[in-house]
Structure 1
Amino acid sequence: MSAEKTVNTESNEPSDHYHIGGDITKIERAQTQGDRIEAVEKVKLPHLSGDFGTDRFLDREISWLDFNTRVLELAEDPDLYLLERLNFLSIVGSNLDEFFMVRVAGLRRRIATGIAVPSAAGMTPDEQMEEISESAHQLMERQHRCFHEEVLPALEKEQIRIVKWSDLEDEAKARLTSFFSDEVFPILTPLAVDPAHPFPYISGLSLNLAVVVRNPQTGKELFARLKVPDQLNRMISIDGSRAVNSPSREARFIALEDVIAQHLDMMFPGMEVLEVHAFRVTRNEDLEVEEDDAENLLQALEKELLRRRFGPPVRLEVEDTINPNVLELLISELSIDESEVYRLPAPLDLRGMGAIVNANRPALHYPKHIAHTSRWLNENETSKAANVFAATRAHDVLLHHPYDSFATSVQAFLEQAAADPNVMAIKQTLYRTSGDSPIVDALIEAAEAGKQVLALVEIKARFDEEANIKWARKLERAGVHVVYGIVGLKTHCKLSLVVRKEGDSLRRYCHIGTGNYHPSTARFYEDLGLLTCDPQITEDVSRLFNQLSGYAPKTTYRSLLVAPRSIRSGLIDYINKEIEHSMAGRKAKIQIKCNSMVDEAIIDSLYRASQSGVEVNVVVRGICALRPGVPGLSENIRVRSVLGRFLEHSRVFTFENAGNPKVYIGSADMMHRNLDRRVEALVSIKAQRNREYLLDMFDRYMSKKTSTWHLEADGHWERHNKDDQGNRLVDIQSYYLESRDKRKRK
């Protein structure tokens, strides 16, 4: 397989048409079944001007930790709503958990197997681990320092307190004792460690108590482990919901592990409790499934999910007051290195602050946001339920979530399709969705109504595997045709296709998005989507579904770029065209918005564009291996990051093209996994109004008046949230919220 570019001879411009079946050398093969996709190409690039070596790339793992430092800076911001600051501390903890479970675990596996290939930045796995350990220790210590020295005192001023048992009056202690007896004690299972009881298995991310007891008869000290139940709220409200939700009343919370620690005499009757220390283990939880050898992918994944529970430890968090002897026992039994131990002040695991974060204290939260129906779906806004098909026939609809309602656009599109007797077929990709998904319900309703329904469920979506297996089987039972994509590749594209009978012919409608069909995350993920019935686009989407569900290795596309075949090569073609425009004195500019910028071929292409005088703007939420502002290499490249109330998730690519902009949106980040090991789709935005909206979006993200983080040439991220007079800069997310509210009021 190869990507053969077709050129329009009149304009000498790439035609958005990538044909499968040229003669470019095959570089890297993808493991496939049925020859559905034969290979993955890597584009051969001309050399950069100058000798910059591996120094031109920032290390992706350190960049990921830098991203979480930016999240932590939000928690440290005294001008931010207090409970949102606490929430950002929780997010830092959750992100670090995944980082250790996947990235650190992967590095440890490479070191253990002797795979010492340096990273693109020239660092060996051992060097990366050393730097990760130092940075992660500093980050977690800073996270807990922010919690104890800034957020907790601020919460106390708002009459929200986390207390110890010794702080409580007798009446409160009695209530908590009853609570422990009725709701906690029956769940607990103490596990002794002695010659008859080996050291127990410690599940990943569970909070545990290391208990040292003494037999008063023999004087012998013994060790036991007690798991803190994760079915219960971690923070227990002492005074009830009325106090929690009333700004005029004091709301006190106590950690569940503290309540358990005070009642250990009930767990170990006849023993003396000497010490109690909380600890937490993080394990390797990345899945490895050899798909080519798996006769049934669902069964293979279910077996691997069981194995995941027993992955080796990669991090041990302990209270900083832990007895050295107890810590030595944990290190020995868990076979963990001293460098992987994180000593922190209690409470461990700040993800458990949900009961406090969710307190109904409006003054301590972001103002409530109600998403509005897109004006392009319901231009006169006289009714709540827009006719999605009629609006899409009138013009392509560009959606910007969460500012535009997901429920009245994408969800309505599928619900209306399911209920419409004129709809013949629905095809849908599902990467992640919610537990009570109306999208899944609409597909089931459509199948039960006799429509042809295809659902491509990506059951290898990391950490959503179990949920997706459940949805796949539920859909199958309802008569939906369920497929699992192409073996060897994850299906990450966000596609929905509806075939509708109109008069004597069929018309196809589709939605192509940057985010998952997940109604819950659609409320706080910033994403884009296109609703269109453009014949060329819908034909492309139909062909892509046929490729995913059948055998179509010669598929061609005119309005889509599709990975692993043509996204990297297609984008590089557009970058090279901008270089040509710049060299010829025509308008040239490249702008990319993504979650991660890691792919070396894309980065080197952007460096060459910069060296040719092309202005390059990059907006990246998370990892960025590109180094901007380096003389002779990247002085024409600016990199910005936006973090805030919503998770910036959209991917946008714009090329000035001598005054006739080319604009794409889609699912692909600039990473190897997206461009080589996933099926991704970018769609060309054709309507001028929609292109102008996205170009204006870049202007606002890159503006000096907008609050952003700037990436410097040395890899340091500098926050710019105030002007020279100390006034706060514009929050881009607030701007889009307010623009929708103003239009609604009009």
Structure 2
Amino acid sequence: MEMSKQHDFMNREISWLAFNDRILDNAQSPAIPLLERTKFLKITQANLDEWYMIRVASLIREVQAGDFNPDKSGLAPNTQLNQVRKLVKRQLKRQNKIWLKIKGDLANHKINLLDYQKLSVEQRKFADNYFLTTVSPLIEVELLPKDIPWPEMENGAMYFVSEMISAQDPSKHIFSHFKLPPLNRLLVLPEQSNCFILLEQIIKAHFKELIQAKFKGRFIAQKIYLYRILKDMDIRSLPKESKNTEQAVEIALEKRASAPVIFLAVDSSMPRKTLKTLTEVLDVNPLNTFHINGDWDYNFIDQLCQSIVNAPANLHFQKRSPHHESDLEGTEIFAKIQNHDYLLHHPYDSYDGVVNFFAQAAIDPTVKEIYVTIYRTSHDSPIVKSLADAAKHGKKVNVLIEVKARFDEEHNIKVADYLRGIGINVYTSFPDLKIHCKMALVVRDDKSTIAHLATGNYNEATAKGYTDFSFFTARLKYAKDIKRIFQYINGKKKLPNKLNKLYIAPNMLRSKLEHEIKKTIKKAQDGENCEIWIKCNSLSDYKLIKNLYDASSKGVKVHLLIRGLTTAVPQLPGVSTNLHIHSIVGRLLEHSRVYIFISEKNYKCYLSSADVMPRNFDRRIETLFPIEDPDLKERILNIFERMWNDRVQSYTKHANGTYMKRINNKNATKIVPIQEQFLIEAEKKEN
């Protein structure tokens, strides 16, 4: 995935595919426990699906609109789309190759995913009976018409298309289709433990009798093939006819059902005639079709891992216990925070402190008001329950719920309806501006305030697998800023142009970072040794990257620890000689955002909800907040430095756009990766 050498920027989509390839490396790595490798494989597909439904969908629309304007890497939309298709095909082939190797390794541990033909007599009887009693009654076979109503085609679902001939006229060819029934993809087989078969294998073994029964002998089935579709799921703009954001999102969600098909995956054995018929019926560009070998759509992986009996411990990551900050998990949490600031590094530090923050706010008699923003939360959230409890205890609760959080829209609307129904003040965001900041404020009778600011969502489930920072403070200036932002959210005041401590997007955050970069450059030109350290998920903002290039060319050492995509190019002569990019992809998802500016005399440390992307700077409300306690600043810098020096999970990006692992897999088993080091240290600290 090399980039063009004549440009200073890498294409965003190609960079994203390189990121997904790094996740696939974990699915392939012998240093990763076998069953954990299956999970990485599933993640790559889920990532690919979402990216295709949003980003590639956008490219397709640009091409259809006749947009030939190149991006900063010099690639026009049609060129990007052609390259993306080639790389997606390569990635799908790699997924299948890795899965075949994993299946073989599982078999060596007596964990078998069997083809129907390889079932024992007893297993086959069991599978046949399951088909007759459970599967067949749920299948509705229909003739493939010229036009399929879009609502009947479920996005992401697997379907079968069957070639048939007329029983009366064998020269007449007809096609039928049906959806994979809503059952577990994986069937646990009897006779011996840890033997499984996929549902589609059983259906393929019985499709002729299925067609015979469903059409009462009028048609004779010849062949059957799997296919799967993805639709354009991007909500680009909200309907103007709506009265509010929430209603607009609901209208947009309804329109998703009739969105065009932009991706069609089919069995590699599907003949051209069948594929041509299918693409015409689905109205999908043949260039957006992909042939798949073997098993695919790895959504059965979780069930597989849960169904295995007595799996050897070495097939999973070793379980580690997080450190619990006792000061934040008791009833005196607010008094403790009034004494000094606290910083948690999740999941190494338990998320229980955050959950307790809301639980105590709900029942503490001195608390009179609560403010919180919700972007993504779990489906049985203890934080949402605490907010409900607070309302029941007579406290004033103010909740901002972002109903435009992608693929969480329906859930967030339900949460908003529930909280509104019990008397909580619920606000939703603006039609053209997402509220992505993560902040909460507790106001007490004595006018003291306790604030929580974070780099990640209020979601105790994802907090077990995402690395993020939580910051607790009783400093009044932070509280005043949070309350002022809420006044903008609820429409009482205009967007603030200046705050005491916080910097927010869309009107402050970019300029603040640019200001810090320029100050660091000035100090470097005055002879100081200066560095910039940035850690985030994605980095693609052209303007800020130009600022970082400028810093690099003027002697500032720039360290970018970017988990996912980045369009910046390191170590280009005369452009980014002192700019280096690392990426850590491992057991935990690196989600925290850190911005550090270092000179010889001092350094500034900021945490943020924002990545370095145009959407975060220009189309979202984000927060950037300083960490001023010297011990907490030192802790964050130490964490960053140790992650930067990791040589097991870490990749280095090169000037040609490729990523290279900093250590080969053979030696990786001998060195403890940085995430595992942090987990071990947290467990020891707990004990």
Aligned runs of 1:339-378 on 2, under 5 Å? 339-358=287-306, 359=308, 361=311, 362-374=313-325, 377=327
Q: Residues 360-391 of structure 1: CA distance to partner in whole angstroms, max 9, x if unpaired?
A: 6232111113323136x36xxxxx64632122
| 1:718 equivalent in structure 2 | 660
| 2:464 equivalent in structure 1 | 523
For residue 381 of structure 2, the aligned residue among 428, 434, 437 is: 437
| 2:26 equivalent in structure 1 | 74
| 1:465 equivalent in structure 2 | 409
| 1:17 equivalent in structure 2 | none
For residue 447 of structure 2, the aligned residue among 506, 515, 536 is: 506
Residue pair 2:150, 2:257 contacting (<8 A) in 1 also: no
1:198 CA drift (Å):
8.5
* d(CA) in 2 for partners of 1:371, 1:197: 51
Residue identity matched to 1:341:
T
| 1:411 equivalent in structure 2 | 355
Q: Compared with structure 1, are the counterparts of its residues 448 and 176 closer, same or farther at alpha carbon in structure 2 (3 Å cutoff)?
A: same
| 1:596 equivalent in structure 2 | 538
Aligned runs of 1:628-707 on 2, under 5 Å? 628-703=570-645, 705=647, 707=649
1:286 CA drift (Å):
0.7
Q: Compared with structure 1, are the counterparts of its residues 704 and 645 closer, same or farther at alpha carbon in structure 2 (3 Å cutoff)?
A: closer
1:232 CA drift (Å):
1.9
For residue 534 of structure 1, the aligned residue among 467, 475, 478 is: 475
* d(CA) in 1 for partners of 2:110, 2:5: 56
Residue identity matched to 2:265:
E
| 1:26 equivalent in structure 2 | none
Structure 2, unaligned runs of 5 or more:
none
| 2:196 equivalent in structure 1 | 253
Residue identity matched to 1:439:
I
Residue identity matched to 1:388:
I
Higher alpha-carbon deviation: 584-593 or 568-577: 584-593
Residue identity matched to 1:461:
A
Q: Compared with structure 1, are the counterparts of its residues 726 and 470 closer, same or farther at alpha carbon in structure 2 (3 Å cutoff)?
A: closer
Q: Compared with structure 1, are the counterparts of its residues 410 and 194 closer, same or farther at alpha carbon in structure 2 (3 Å cutoff)?
A: closer
TM-score by length of 2: 0.94
1:725 CA drift (Å):
6.9
Q: Residues 662-683 of structure 1: CA distance to partner in whole angstroms, max 9, x if unpaired?
A: 1111100000100000000011
Residue identity matched to 1:317:
A
1:204 CA drift (Å):
1.6
For the pair 1:332 / 2:280, whether they are aligned, the reply is yes
Residue pair 1:653, 1:663 contacting (<8 A) in 2 also: yes
| 2:11 equivalent in structure 1 | 59
Residue pair 1:91, 1:351 contacting (<8 A) in 2 also: no
TM-score by length of 1: 0.87
* d(CA) in 2 for partners of 1:127, 1:223: 35
* d(CA) in 1 for partners of 2:169, 2:225: 23
Residue identity matched to 2:113:
I
For residue 283 of structure 1, the aligned residue among 231, 241, 248 is: 231
Residue pair 1:426, 1:454 contacting (<8 A) in 2 also: yes
Q: Residues 255-310 of structure 1: CA distance to partner in whole angstroms, max 9, x if unpaired?
A: 11122223332453224321110111111111133366521322221121111122
Residue pair 2:147, 2:281 contacting (<8 A) in 1 also: no
| 1:18 equivalent in structure 2 | none
For the pair 1:178 / 2:129, whether they are aligned, the reply is yes
* d(CA) in 1 for partners of 2:480, 2:147: 67
| 2:35 equivalent in structure 1 | 83
* d(CA) in 1 for partners of 2:231, 2:385: 35
For the pair 1:204 / 2:163, whether they are aligned, the reply is no
Q: Residues 166-203 of structure 1: CA distance to partner in whole angstroms, max 9, x if unpaired?
A: 11123222222332333323322111125899899532
| 2:167 equivalent in structure 1 | 216
1:697 CA drift (Å):
1.2
Aligned runs of 1:85-100 on 2, under 5 Å? 85-100=37-52
Q: Kindly, what percent of the aligned residue pairs are identical?
A: 33
* d(CA) in 2 for partners of 1:199, 1:297: 25
Helix, strand or coil for the counterpart of 1:450?
coil
Q: Compared with structure 1, are the counterparts of its residues 731 and 559 closer, same or farther at alpha carbon in structure 2 (3 Å cutoff)?
A: same
Helix, strand or coil for the counterpart of 1:350?
coil
* d(CA) in 2 for partners of 1:530, 1:567: 19
Q: Compared with structure 1, are the counterparts of its residues 614 and 389 closer, same or farther at alpha carbon in structure 2 (3 Å cutoff)?
A: same
* d(CA) in 2 for partners of 1:54, 1:569: 29
Aligned runs of 1:139-150 on 2, under 5 Å? 139-148=91-100, 150=101
Q: Compared with structure 1, are the counterparts of its residues 704 and 281 closer, same or farther at alpha carbon in structure 2 (3 Å cutoff)?
A: closer
Aligned runs of 1:119-158 on 2, under 5 Å? 119-148=71-100, 150-158=101-109
For the pair 1:402 / 2:353, whether they are aligned, the reply is no
| 1:574 equivalent in structure 2 | 516
1:658 CA drift (Å):
3.6
* d(CA) in 2 for partners of 1:577, 1:113: 43
* d(CA) in 1 for partners of 2:597, 2:530: 7
Helix, strand or coil for the counterpart of 1:101?
helix
Residue pair 1:577, 1:657 contacting (<8 A) in 2 also: no
* d(CA) in 1 for partners of 2:653, 2:662: 11
Q: Compared with structure 1, are the counterparts of its residues 306 and 554 closer, same or farther at alpha carbon in structure 2 (3 Å cutoff)?
A: closer
* d(CA) in 2 for partners of 1:532, 1:75: 40
For the pair 1:426 / 2:370, whether they are aligned, the reply is yes
For the pair 1:305 / 2:250, whether they are aligned, the reply is no
1:702 CA drift (Å):
1.6
Matched residues, number: 674
| 2:650 equivalent in structure 1 | 708
Higher alpha-carbon deviation: 304-313 or 184-193: 184-193
* d(CA) in 2 for partners of 1:657, 1:194: 69
* d(CA) in 1 for partners of 2:634, 2:150: 63
* d(CA) in 2 for partners of 1:600, 1:627: 11
Q: Compared with structure 1, are the counterparts of its residues 725 and 274 closer, same or farther at alpha carbon in structure 2 (3 Å cutoff)?
A: closer
Residue pair 1:193, 1:199 contacting (<8 A) in 2 also: no
Give structure 1 regions of 4+ aligned residues with deviation exceeding 6 angstroms.
195-200, 723-727
Residue pair 1:707, 1:722 contacting (<8 A) in 2 also: no
| 2:262 equivalent in structure 1 | 314
* d(CA) in 1 for partners of 2:491, 2:146: 58
Residue pair 2:245, 2:431 contacting (<8 A) in 1 also: no
* d(CA) in 2 for partners of 1:133, 1:554: 42
Aligned runs of 1:217-256 on 2, under 5 Å? 217-219=168-170, 220-229=172-181, 231-239=182-190, 250-256=193-199
* d(CA) in 2 for partners of 1:197, 1:341: 18
Higher alpha-carbon deviation: 198-207 or 475-484: 198-207
Residue identity matched to 2:53:
M
* d(CA) in 1 for partners of 2:147, 2:518: 69
* d(CA) in 1 for partners of 2:272, 2:155: 22
Residue pair 1:701, 1:732 contacting (<8 A) in 2 also: yes
Residue pair 2:126, 2:190 contacting (<8 A) in 1 also: no
Q: Compared with structure 1, are the counterparts of its residues 527 and 565 closer, same or farther at alpha carbon in structure 2 (3 Å cutoff)?
A: same
For residue 389 of structure 1, the aligned residue among 334, 338, 344 is: 334
1:336 CA drift (Å):
2.5
| 1:486 equivalent in structure 2 | 430
Residue pair 1:289, 1:300 contacting (<8 A) in 2 also: no
* d(CA) in 2 for partners of 1:154, 1:235: 18
1:114 CA drift (Å):
2.2
Helix, strand or coil for the counterpart of 1:398?
strand
Q: Compared with structure 1, are the counterparts of its residues 364 and 67 closer, same or farther at alpha carbon in structure 2 (3 Å cutoff)?
A: same
Helix, strand or coil for the counterpart of 2:233?
coil
CA RMSD of aligned residues (A): 2.1
Helix, strand or coil for the counterpart of 1:497?
strand
Q: Residues 585-641 of structure 1: CA distance to partner in whole angstroms, max 9, x if unpaired?
A: 123110000000100111011111011100110000101011011111111111100
Q: Residues 111-156 of structure 1: CA distance to partner in whole angstroms, max 9, x if unpaired?
A: 11223322121211001001111111111111111111x2111011
1:105 CA drift (Å):
0.3
Q: Compared with structure 1, are the counterparts of its residues 401 and 174 closer, same or farther at alpha carbon in structure 2 (3 Å cutoff)?
A: same
